[in-house]
Amino acid sequence: MGSEDDKAVVTQFFASRMSDFDTARSLMHEDATWTIPGELPLSGVYEGRQTIFDDYLGAHTNDFKEITSEVTRMIAENGTVVVEYHARGVTNKDREYDAIYYYVVDVVDGKIKAVRQSLDTQYAHRVLYS
């Protein structure tokens, strides 16, 4: 697969990850990892597709009353896609949330194998958890 194919996999994943778990799950390798830096309650390394969906993607949206997001940019080379992602919403504590995330996504044989997420963890902690 080439960079455009990898980009298509990641585009479909980000389009479906909040609303169509079956599609998103099908795009992720069974042995995938997802790494979130910092000391947030959700920070850490999630190992395996099941754990990623059960313990992170399935739990993260519980922090918000409403949330919208969009991919604002993607850059790809063979096997790696970098995603800029903008999320806006209202937290369960009635706080406005507006954050940019960056993801480095490794794609192997048409499936997401690893995601390394970057965000302003101090902002996220203050708005979501303090």
CATH, domain range 3-129: 3.10.450.50
Over residues 9-19, mean pLDDT: 92
Residue 60: the pLDDT is 66
Q: Which two tokens stand for residue 76?
A: 């790809």
Could you read off the pLDDT of 83-111 as tens digits, one per residue?
Answer: 999 999 999 999 999 999 999 999 999 99
Could you read off the pLDDT of 27-77 as tens digits, one per residue?
Answer: 999 999 999 999 998 899 999 999 999 998 876 667 788 988 999 999 999
Non-local (6+) Cβ contacts of 37 within 8 A are: 43, 117, 118, 119, 121
User: CA-CA distances (angstroms) from residue 68 to 3, 65, 85?
Assistant: 27, 11, 11
